[in-house]
A and B are shown apart, each in its own frame.
Chain A
Amino acid sequence: MESIVFYIIALIMVTFAVMSVSSRNIMRSIVYLLFVMIGLSGVYFMLDFSFLGAVQLVVYAGGVIILYITSIMLIEKIGESMDKPKLLQQIIAAVITSLGAGVTLFAIYSYNFNMVADINNITTVEDVGFALLNYGENGYILPFEIISMLLLAAMVGAIVIAKSGKSTNSNELKN
């Protein structure tokens, strides 16, 4: 039963990923990407990692996709379709990527993973919290703090970059 659900989710994810990279309308392409994100969070939920699934839903499906949609609405004419890549370029890219996928899949299937059969392994929010805020052994408090500083710096940097462009543009208009 669970395997059938996984195969359905995998099929949805692969189909929408292909549609997302091949659609000519950028707004449709971003909505297809949203379905890939939701399917991936479904896989996380099935792997009993509910916190990561929730983070995937909130950050990716809720945050990043909305950020993309807003910036597309700001700068792109929505109805306009993107330039079609040359057919030769498409064929070469498809051949090279399928070759790479074949090599990687061959490497995966020829390696013998010794899987640990542990069905009742559920990662709770408590486990994640203990691992993230622990400064003893196997603790991740330093990367956690660095990530928070990085997010702050990225936010300030994004504001500064977006604002500086505006001021130079208005200066050019004055001149």
Chain B
Amino acid sequence: MILGVSIYEILTLSTIIFFIGVYGFVTRKNLIGMLMAVELILNSTALNFVAINKYLYPDLIEGGIFSLFIIAIAAAETALALAIIINLYRLVMSLNTDNLETMKN
């Protein structure tokens, strides 16, 4: 735990970053911009896991392990999503969500 900082401050920080990510996900029209907002959301949840582990159950380690799994899955998700986006860009020549109505052909 951090000296002089209670769990409320850390949870406040992660809540604010989570909702900034939600705001970005709703307002962005660019696919990569939306993906970046999802990264913000994932990071804030990982911070939540670690903070609750460290402040409420300091002798356990599960929160940190789950944060590690979140980071690994987020890396896999980013690689796949960027591959799909690059493939889509070759077909449509655009990243704007308004132009991406066709699902096939």
Contact = CB atoms under 8 A, between A and B. Distances in A.
Interface of A: 1-3, 6-7, 10, 13-14, 17-18, 20-22, 26, 29-30, 33, 36-37, 40, 43-44, 46-49, 51-52, 55-56, 59-60, 63-64, 67-68, 71-72, 74-76, 82-83, 85, 89-90, 93-94, 96-98, 100-101, 104-105, 108-109, 113-119, 121, 123, 127-128, 131-132, 138, 140, 143, 147, 150-151, 154-155, 157-159, 161-162, 164-166, 169
**Top-10 shortest CB links A-B:** A21-B24, A3-B4, A165-B87, A154-B76, A158-B83, A118-B58, A101-B19, A121-B58, A93-B26, A97-B23
Contacts of A159: 83
Interface residues on B, range: 35 or more
A22 B36 CA distance: 12
Interface in B80-97: 80, 82-87, 89-91, 95-96
Contact of A68 (B10, B13, B32, B55): B32
Nearest to B11: A108
Contacts, number: 230
Contacts of A13: 13, 17
19 contacts: A10-B9, A10-B13, A14-B16, A14-B20, A17-B20, A21-B24, A26-B33, A36-B40, A47-B2, A52-B67, A60-B74, A97-B19, A97-B22, A97-B23, A100-B19, A118-B59, A131-B62, A158-B79, A158-B82
Interface of B: 1-13, 15-24, 26-30, 32-33, 35-37, 39-40, 43, 46-47, 50-51, 54-59, 61-62, 64-65, 67-69, 71-80, 82-87, 89-91, 95-96
